[in-house]
Structure 1
Amino acid sequence: MNGNTTPIWAVLPVKELEGAKQRLSPRLSSAQRQALMRLMIGEVLAALAGARGLAGIALVTLDPWATEQAKRLGARVITEGARDGHTGSVTAAARILAAEGQGMLALPGDIPAITAAEVEALLAAHGAAPAFTIAPAHDLQGSNAIILTPPLAVPLRFGEDSYYPHLAAARARGIEPRIVPLPGIAMDIDNPADLDALARLPEAAGTRSLAWLRAEGLVA
């Protein structure tokens, strides 16, 4: 049992899907990139919905499809900051949750191998506020999931080289980060090489995303 008593909301920023995942364009068409993004977001939402211990789910989005998915799940929709990039979207949600006395789990929509069990493992590792828990990307560059209580305890700046800066930012605030490597959460999809890595990942075997990629002939 963890030492955290703050209710934690999952925050999932979803930018408008038209033009999504441009770095996959050497292998996927625009329509394929949008289809893959919908599948991956669906798998993240399913994992969050199946995880025990979350107070709720919030999507930061203006995308009509993502908004409809949120309504279908009974999730909250936040539009503030939705066009301000990943960092801006998460920060906008953090301000709202902080004002409500909630905690925050921030994660992206491109981690299709995530499971409810991994979400629960992150929650279990999180300590009493002020606390910072992080699950890094597979390359130890990105920050694929962060739990913060309170949500503004550590300034966040996402990007390709955010993992070690986030650890330093937490320590600068006097908070020792709890690091929880999780293979499903670690496997984010940004470029064509990531598609091949997903195909080799045992945790991805049952995902709809990988089944679709194989059906489309996009991975072996």
Structure 2
Amino acid sequence: MSNTQVVWTFGAKNPNARIANLKEREVTTDYDERFKNRLMLYSQTGALTITQLRASDSGVYMYQSIGANIISRQFYLTVYSPLHSLSISVNQCLINRSCSSLTLECFVENSRDLTLSWYRGRDILKKTSSPDLSTKLSLALEIDSKDGGGYSCVAENPVEEKVVRLHAKDTCQDRETSSWCKAEIMVRLVFLAVFGLALIVLVVDYIRLRRCSRLGS
């Protein structure tokens, strides 16, 4: 390739920025700060290697071999960030329904082409996505605590998938180990105790008033 010049260009949509050049066996790869110290251009073949890939490296790359003839080829590259860990939180346990309904919410850091979904078994129940990569992605799901486990939250993009599962012990079905159900039972007991005490006070006041009215007559 001694008499051939090789030029590599790049752009998010149009490859109009030069990033590497090979001419008379001299390699230059310092055109663009975004690729500083991450490009390797092989003088024997004109092949380009990008190290330490980043999501911002996604776009269109063009190879041009300029000699007796001009040969051009375009390459489309999409780089996906590693998926972050998922988390599930219990938002509420409806006391007036005997803790029969739980609202769950699944969270994950958003990234390119990410979809967040709720499944029960293999059946998809809900899903969401957002082009705003600066915020967390979340998806809420209301379930009946008697359903127990079988629910899972899945984050996926075209190259990776992460799953977190909801177990029976995480629902109100297991009243011995479920902290929010224990809290509900405690609230109910306190409410009944206060109600009972108020009822006793009313009965005592009623009896006292009856006695006073009799003595007065």
TM bucket, shorter chain = under 0.3
Task: Give 1 or 2: higher helix fraction.
Answer: 1
Higher normalized contact order (CA 8 Å, seq sep 6+, divided by chain length) = 1
TM (norm. structure 2) is 0.23
Task: Give 1 or 2: higher strand fraction.
Answer: 2
